[in-house]
Amino acid sequence: MTRLALFDLDNTLLCGDSDFEWGLFLASKGVHDREAYEAQNLAFYDAYKAGTLDIEVFLQFQLAPLARHSRQQLDRWHEQFMREHIRDLITPAARDLVQKEQAQSDLVAIVTATNRFVTGPIAQAFGIPHLVATEPEVAANGEFTGKILGPPCFQAGKITCVNAWLNCLGQRWEDFDTTVFYSDSLNDLPLLMRVSHPVAVNPDPVLRAHALEHHWPICELYA
């Protein structure tokens, strides 16, 4: 029996949202006008939770700072971000769940709408080598352009991105007898409905209602 295990990241494995926290961290560094940036960041986050986020507009907002600063500076900031903001959001319960899936699954990945620059080191902190994320475009000189490569890894786009990732590994959905996806968000309903074993993790109200209606397991990871 072969098993594929997929995890959402923000508010699923992380007890918080890395995308939102990264924005606040940049504001604290004076990269933006803090008051204006935090208000806009919060508005996007509220739209995400409501399932109404315009992902294209949000990505322009999210990726613009990557294009305005050198990769060297961004990497230094991210190291500090990991130490001061992310480490405390990685709980023992989340680590235990990851280790359980790694022990019983043939392939494990994080699948997140948040871009790879922000989430790559977080996946490494969990010991998960495979990351399917929104891909920021990188110029020939190694600097970010502020654009993305391929489709956003968001809502139904997560299925597209997982398909592309599996193809790169020479595999298909059909190669796995069991496919499982853990998520907290109504935005992930397309991928949750695609796998054979969806799991709602501390779900938002819409996802909780859907999970109860369809008898999906509900995991209160941070209860």
Q: Point out the residues that are catalytic.
A: 8, 10
- List, in sequence order, the alpha helices (H) in 82-188: 92-104, 116-126, 157-168
**CA separation for the pair 193, 64 (Å, rounded):** 33
What's the distance, Cα to Cα, between the start and end of the chain in Å? 32
Q: Using alpha carbons only, how large is the chain's radius of gyration in Å?
A: 17
User: In whole angstroms, what is the distance from residue 43 CA to residue 53 CA?
Assistant: 9
Alpha-carbon distance values, 23 to 31, 76, 171 (Å): 10, 15, 36
> Which residues are 199's β-sheet partners?
182
Q: If you write DSSP's letter for every residue of 3-46 in order, what string do you get?
A: EEEEE-IIIIIBSS-HHHHHHHHHHHTTSS-HHHHHHHHHHHHH
